Structure 1
Amino acid sequence: MSLFCCPICRAPLERGERSYTCPNGHSYDRAREGYVHLLPANQKHARDPGDDKEMAAARSRFLSADYYAPLRKALCALALEHAGAGAAVLDAGCGEGYYTAGLFGALAVAGRESRLAGVDLSKPSVRLAAKRLPHGEFAVASVYRLPVGRRQIDLLLNCFSPLALDEFRRVLKPGGVYLYVVPGPEHLWQLKQVLYERPYPNPEQAIPYEGFSYERIVPVEADLAVEGAALQDLFRMTPYYWKTPRAGAQRLAALDGLKMRASFRIHVFRREG
């Protein structure tokens, strides 16, 4: 049985070789790469929502070079701390699957085979994720309408993706753990200094959320030396790409490389009751 449920009737889905089906007769074809489209037309707010093909490819190239390996290592350590054998793991906003694959690999090496699924609005990203991790389940879907049944998930990862608290509360089992990754105050500060005349730090916040208990905040810091095409890949995969004035983008394009600090905060929550 799949971790996914039908986006129309919420019945459990069964994963077949070529399609996902529910007992009420709804069927969803699996793409050649193995992923499934579970975003009904009436839930789409754009023709092609999420990251486009070029942005997904840029993120895949940059992350595959392991610039953010310290963050993945920290997430894997937390997964090993909180997920037992057979755990149901959901990456809500999985992108091209870099962190998803990391969690799966860490649990497998520890002898804790998991049931793992990832969702993202971006079809190009989900296609890359499915190719990266054939053992997982991946779907084009919204984190605000997760195609997952109530209280099915033991460990939920939300890395730089929208905060859909109502859905996260719904799908997590009582006692389940939620890992919420956000940028630290001076994440990529040196890049922001190139792009903007007056850069400002990200807020440092520890906000309690209803239905969750705060476990702790795990800081992750890394020094990066990003050169050549990887610098443009990093720029394209960040929100700055859409917000940067032309002059800032031109200043960045004139650089051969840039040393900067990556700073992350992993907020660890546990689902109450």
Structure 2
Amino acid sequence: MTTPIADSADLPTMTPLTALICPLDAQPLTRDGQSWCCVDGHRFDIARQGHVNLLPVQRKRSLDPGDSKAMVVARQRLFALGGYLPLAEALARRVVESVDTPLGGASLGVLDAGCGEGYYLRQLAHAAGQEGIILEAAGLDISKHAVLAAARQSRDAAWLVGTNAALPLEDDCVDVVICAFGFPVWQEFARVLKPGGRVVLLEAGAEHLLALRKILYRELKPARGEAGLSAAEAAGFTSESDVEHLYAGLSLASNEQIRDLLTMTPHLYRAEREGLARAEALSELEVELHAELRVFTSAIAQDKT
């Protein structure tokens, strides 16, 4: 089963977010042919596939930051199995339910912060489109390979190579930030959110890929718990409701699929050699996906009025 994607010329569900700023001097960017330019003369060319690189060299921690091409390709194959679809649908549902937007041709400004291959943003666009809501959307990731893969699948959003630590977006320009299995930077999220805006966060739960982790590690690390939310609170965010626990199953029917799961996660680089050998010797594996879904409102965003 594959993810339903509604990127259609007849029924568009996304339009590109254009409130971009220069990553070098924070000046507004304007479209000039096949480039985005600021008044100080900085120019960022739009790639043939439609995405734009707004990650300056001085903000890179390595020559090729973020997910590698192999990780991106492996993740695309795993997503095509359909196991992650219930998680993406739940995130989309929470976004649609959380906004007070009139139906019928309304638009909603959305940033997917850490968009990867665009899987969750495209699913959100599909769900919003069924409610008559068109997304004015941007997907941003530090991995050029992930953004390229996203742009190849849909030209309806603004696909940006960039960092959550310094979002190349204007202040108060989006209604919702989604962050799925990513690295939230709460101060930046608060800056780009409109008054009353929300962050919809999807993170790995304590039982996520537990069967795989038991094979890889002799000792499992304890769950992070609520400690990871302190940064959100420090940035002025409050949780709208209790955490929603999401569970889904993923059946891996070949050694190649197990290898893809290892490749798309950090476990390939963190696990002990003996654990990797045990996992790579398997020909099938049943794993459980466990995610925690939360919606946050920024008090700072509300105070902007």
Residue-by-residue CA offset, 1:62-86 (whole Å, 9 max, x unaligned): 1132210011010110121134321
- Alignment correspondent of 1:176: 197
Which residue is equivalent to 1:255? Answer: 282
User: 1:23 and 1:111 mapped to 2: Cα distance?
Assistant: 37
Distance 1:64 1:133 in 2: 16
Q: TM-score with structure 1 length normalisation?
A: 0.95
Point out where structure 1 has 5 or more consecutive residues left out of the alignment. Answer: none
Q: Is 2:117 aligned against 1:96?
A: yes
In structure 2, the residue matched to 1:231 is 258
Aligned to 1:192: 213
* Residues 186, 201 of structure 1: 8 Å contact kept: no
Q: C-alpha separation between the residues in 1 aligned to 2:82 and 2:290? A: 15
Match of 1:53 in 2: 69
Q: Secondary structure at the residue paired with 1:45?
A: coil
What is the match of residue 239 of structure 2? 214
SS of alignment partner, residue 200 of structure 1? coil
Q: For residues 3 and 61 of structure 1, what CA distance do their matches in structure 2 show?
A: 33
Post-superposition offset of 1:34 = 0.5
Distance 2:257 2:182 in 1: 22
Quote the Cα distance in structure 2 between the aligned partners of 1:192 and 1:146.
33
Could you tell me which amino acid in structure 2 is paired with residue 30 of structure 1? I
SS at match of 1:255: coil
- For 1:231, give the aligned amino acid: I
Local SS of the residue matching 1:86: strand
Q: Hey, what does 2:98 align to over in structure 1?
A: 82
Which of these residues, 174, 186, 207, is aligned with residue 165 of structure 1?
Answer: 186
Asked whether the 8 Å contact 1:4–1:147 carries over to 2, the reply is: yes
- Tell me the amino acid that sits aligned with residue 156 of structure 2: H
Where do residues 109-188 of structure 1 align in structure 2 (5 Å cutoff)? 109-188=130-209
Deviations 1:177-197 (A, max 9, x none): 101111111111101111111
Name the count of aligned residue pairs.
273
- How much does 1:25 deviate? 2.9
Check conservation: 2:144, 2:161, Cα contact below 8 A: yes
What is the aligned partner in structure 1 of residue 44 from structure 2? Answer: 28
Checking the alignment, whether the CA contact within 8 Å between 1:90 and 1:155 is kept in structure 2 is yes
Q: Give per-residue Cα distances to partners, 1:30-79, cap 9 Å, x unaligned.
A: 11110000011111111111111111111111113221001101011012
The aligned amino acid for 1:42 is Q
The residue type paired with residue 237 of structure 1 is: M
Letter in 2 for 1:218: E
